Structure formats: structure tokens, C-alpha cells
Amino acid sequence: MATRTSRDLTGPPPVLTARAVRRSFGPAAVLAGVDLDVAPGEVVALLGGSGSGKSTLLRVLAGLDREATGERVVRGTAAVVFQEHRLLPWKRVADNVALGLSGPDVAARVDRALAEVGLADRRRAWPAELSGGQAQRVAVARALVREPDLLLLDEPFGALDALTRLRMQGLLRRLRAEHGFAALLVTHDVEEALLLADRALVLDGGTIAEELPVPLGPTRTPDDPAFGALRRRLLDRLGVPAP
């Protein structure tokens, strides 16, 4: 994929720019020219039905798909959290977080990242000894320790139970407020998108079909009428009929 160095004329350059991203599996074009920007510190939710290509797009944006075409620029560092924790079962928690890091202060950085997700005391544990939520928090710490400018999240809480998911959403909000990273959150959960994002995108037919600002402020609850209106609008766009 080509890289681009030019920058927009207004405001700080986006941490992530994607232009005309295409990806086909055989004859089926899953992504048919996606254009996307994520500003520094901005949280963008990427919604779409199942099979709409959300995860495919995220893999492309993470640089993990070599067969995609188009343009993709990441300014700064990016880190990925997948739907499954994807921790290496043969490495202890701390070694999983430290994977790929080098330098004299790695241990201290790992400890700090684990403390931030509330797992400082589990650094010697094996991944198999953790609960689903704990393992996913380690995965978040593994991304966080890289001090990313952009966090790419592929349905990171999709495999967790409802209570754990709520806690993880709170954790993500807190970490984002502290670190100010930008994030692209792939999700199929409209409420999650509205709770976390500054902007929501709907992927449909291989392109961004809808873009919706989420002007809800820092403290959000689903009881807010504005929240309900936005939810209705997104659900309509996703083809879910009103009850």
C-alpha cells in the first residue's frame, strides 16, 4: 500500500488516514473503497452488521492484511486489541505484555500498564489461570504499554458477559481520559458505540455509508433522551426495525 506524507490544511493531522481501501475475497468485494480519518484523541466507533467487513477493515488499518489495496497512513504508533485476548499461553502475564518491547525500563513499564488495568498482582500468572475479563484486561495492558497514539479495537468486549463488558467500557473511558489516545472501536453494539465514541461510522456495502457525530459529553447514560434518539437513528441505519 502506498504511504502519504501530505497533510490536511486545517487542524492537526489525523493519526489515521485511509483512502480507497479495497479488499476482496475471491469474487466478493468486502471493502469497496473505504475513506476514513481519525483525529488525534478522537474515539470513532465503526458499526456494521455481521459480515459487513468491520473486522476486515480493522485488520487492514492495523497493517495485518497484505492483500488489501489503497492508502493507509498511521502517524505515530498503533496498537491492537482483538476480540479474543490472544495472549500466548506459554508466557506469563508480564511477558505477554512485554512481547516485542525492548529497553532497560521494560519491566517498570509493564508493571505500570498492568497496574492501570488493575492486575498488578497477576503479573506472574499464566493466561489460562485468568478469567475472560482479566485476560482481556491484560490484552488492553499489552496495547497500552506501547503508549499508542491510536488504539485499534476489534470488538474487544464482544466475548465478555454483560457485567464485565460494562466494567471494561468504564476502564476504556478512564484510560482514554488519562492517556488521550485516539481509538477506532469496531463493534456491533450500538449502545457501546454511543457510550464511548465521539463519532460513529456505519460500514455497509463495503463503504462508509453513514457518519454520525455523537455530541453527548463526558458523562453518558442510555437514559438520556438524546442518547435514545441517536440509538434509534443508528439502529434504523443498521436495518433493525423499531419495536
Our finding on whether 107 is near another protein (CB under 8 A) is no
Closest approach of another protein to the CB of residue 59, in Å: 8
Name the E strands within the chain: 16-25, 28-38, 43-47, 69-74, 78-81, 150-154, 182-186, 199-204, 207-213
Binding mask 128-147 for another protein (x = CB under 8 A): xx------------x---x-
What distance in Å separates the CA atoms of residue 169 and residue 195, rounded to the nearest whole number? 8
Closest approach of another protein to the CB of residue 88, in Å: 6
Our finding on whether 82 is near another protein (CB under 8 A) is yes
Q: Which of 211, 208, 202 has the alpha carbon at shortest distance from 239? A: 202
Among 64, 108, 115, 229, binds another protein (CB under 8 A): 64
| Beta carbon nearer to another protein, 186 or 195 | 186
- Which residues make beta-bridge pairs with 151? 79, 183
Using the rule CB under 8 A, give the single segment among 119-127, 175-183, 193-201, 218-226 that binds another protein.
119-127
Our finding on whether 80 is near another protein (CB under 8 A) is yes
What distance in Å separates the CA atoms of residue 125 and residue 120, rounded to the nearest whole number? 11
Among 2, 88, 107, 108, binds another protein (CB under 8 A): 88
Collapsing DSSP to helix, strand or coil, 205 comes out as coil
Report the helix count and the strand count for the chain, using DSSP H and E: 7, 9
225 with 193: CB under 8 angstroms? no
Our finding on whether 25 is near another protein (CB under 8 A) is no
| Amino acid identity at 61 | L
| Beta carbon nearer to another protein, 135 or 197 | 135
Binding site for another protein (CB under 8 A): 62, 64, 79-80, 82, 84, 86, 88-92, 99-100, 125-129, 142, 146
